[in-house]
A and B are shown apart, each in its own frame.
Chain A
Amino acid sequence: MRNCHPIIKILALFTVWFLYLPLMGVAVCSVNSARDGWVWKGFTLDWYVKLFDNEWILNSALNTLILAVVSTAIATVLGTVLAIGISRFPWGRKTNSFLNMMLNIPVVIPDIIMAGSLVVVFGILREVSSMFDMGMIDMIIGHVTFQIAFVALVVRSRLALIGQDVEEAGRDLFASNWYLMRKVMLPLMMPGIVAGAMLAFTLSLDDFVLSFFLSGPDSQTLPLYIYAAVRRGVTPQIHALSTLIVLVTVVLVVGAERLSKKEVA
């Protein structure tokens, strides 16, 4: 920043301010004891306390957590395997570029198109079995679908950072594949895997469009609850809930970024 033109500095600061001001506004409203409006009436943590009384919110929070944990676990395993497969197998040039493109598609595609296509797919699968009724299973599968790509991208960049030298040295010393994986690759990849998992967790927590299309009567998540509640009239409880979610998300993203920057020893 030191060598930047002052106008660029100002623009950068303005962008950051523009992005975060609404969030700070919500946070301020959540500790304001006035029920509505911008008049500051006094600091209070009442709205946060009331959150824990509300059955619907607690239920939604539980569903959100279960969904995030399960889908992250599945997506991390699958994503890591995918990353290893893509970067360590000697694909031909064309296959390599094709795989790279496929990996990027879930990242770039608009949520609503993915959600729409999943609705169609589950409609077909529902003819076969009622297990695919709108609900938690659908949502988990839907979330895993886009999380795999994110995890794979993060782990793949970590693998590129590690390089092939350590593996080849291990093979020269007669290490078996499983030993190589367990003692060499996984420990080296761990920061990347954890970063990918945190990213996937955050994405699942915040996901609205996919959950909206795939949720059933028993599986309402927090973003869905907030959406429905805002349409009925905003209360400061929603400000409190939103602030909490933003805090959790920020902590996770910063953690993910820190871990993925760790140097290779």
Chain B
Amino acid sequence: MKRSIFVVMLLLSVFIRTGFAEDKELRIFIWSEYMDERKFSADFKKDTGINVKIDVYENNEDMLAKLQAGGVNQYDIIVPSDYIMSTLLAQKLIRPLDQTKIPNLKNVSPQFRNTPYDPGNKYTAPWQWGSVGLMYNKNKVSAEAVKSWSVIFDPSKQAGTFWLMDSVRDTMNLALLYLGYDMNSTKPQEIKKAAEMIIAAKNSRNCRGFKPGVGGKNDVDAGAAAMAIVYNGDAMRAVMNDPKRLGFVIPKEGGEIWVDLMAIPAHAPHVDAAHKWINWILDPKRGAMLSNYNRYATPNQASLPYIIAKDKKLDEIYPGPDTMKRLHFTQDLGSANRLVDEAWTKIKSH
């Protein structure tokens, strides 16, 4: 009798989902070094009483793989980039936002409210936006040399050791731009040429390999490499600490401009807490705190008065009209995604 009760209890505990602690916890899955994790967790806990747990990733594809493998019912907030939105929507990995719970959406700048990847902010609210460029050590590489991407992609013009970025679209985009093609090209010959060029660069003596996210920036900062393909905010954090030694530039062939968004996975366990987080981030002072820490550009126009005045004048963070002409948005390539994936596999294995 006792044994059968025990068995029944065991079976029951297997089938009951843990429903309590619904809104006492929030699980965030975000890029590393993207916010002051300790401060924001403590502040959010003080403001709402919700515990924050943070997990980090280094590129969009890692995040997508984790979601597909089961993370879709474990994380409450993810921070995808604009181009991966169509994949997330097609695979039904994110849920629509309840905009009544996010009154601070009105603070968002108009150009981020009706975007081609998410019209009307149905699924996402913008987090930060920025660009992809080249970070370099001024003592080892001249400012003249980094005016062109040839300093990475042309073995005869490489001025020092460098890291390529371990991110499919980011590196392919730059290769296509350097070759003079459309960054979002779907033509097989152009993709093939870009892949071959990246393979040649990767196999050159100066290339140290691929590192995702903040890896390249950390290595240039530590002196382990002379150059790296980086995201502008990461680079500027290091550059502003040591402006005589480090620099960031977007070479003349151009670079990529991107917007990172906050989204809620389809089966998130704490949906209410997730909405609270999004609303909390879109608060004007909080948004400014975020951008002042990670040195990216804020999509929140109500935050602009609180941003460090010097940052607002920097072309590297808030690009002027000339630089904007050189920056292009990444778009989802639809069925041509397969071509780029195959090219990337070839690049990694040759």
Contacts and interface: CB of A to CB of B under 8 A. Distances in A.
Interface of A: 35-37, 119, 122-123, 126, 129-131, 133-135, 213, 216-218, 220, 228, 231-234
19 contacts: A35-B222, A123-B70, A126-B73, A129-B14, A130-B73, A131-B14, A134-B71, A134-B74, A213-B69, A216-B71, A217-B53, A217-B55, A217-B71, A220-B55, A231-B211, A231-B212, A232-B32, A233-B218, A233-B222
Interface in B5-59: 14-15, 17-18, 27, 29, 32-33, 53, 55-56, 58
B213 interface: yes
A216 B215 contact: no
Given A217-B53, A217-B75, A36 B222 contact: yes
Given A36-B224, A129-B15, A232 B218 contact: yes
Given A37-B223, A122-B70, 19 more contacts: A36-B222, A126-B73, A129-B15, A130-B17, A130-B18, A133-B73, A217-B27, A217-B29, A218-B53, A228-B32, A228-B56, A231-B215, A232-B58, A232-B213, A233-B211, A233-B214, A233-B217, A233-B218, A233-B219
B215 A232 contact: yes
Contacts of B56: 228
Interface of B: 14-15, 17-18, 27, 29, 32-33, 53, 55-56, 58, 69-71, 73-75, 166, 211-215, 217-219, 221-224
Contacts, number: 65
A157 B77 CA distance: 51
Contacts of A119: 69-70
A166 to B, nearest CB: 36
The 5 residue pairs across chains A and B that have the minimum distance between CB atoms: A233-B218, A134-B70, A36-B222, A217-B55, A130-B17
Contacts of A220: 55
Given A119-B69, A130-B17, A134-B74, A231 B58 contact: yes
A217 B33 contact: no
A234 B223 CA distance: 12
A216 B74 contact: yes
Given A129-B15, A217-B55, A231 B73 contact: no
Nearest to B214: A232
Contacts of B222: 35-36, 233
Contacts of A131: 14
A134 B223 contact: no
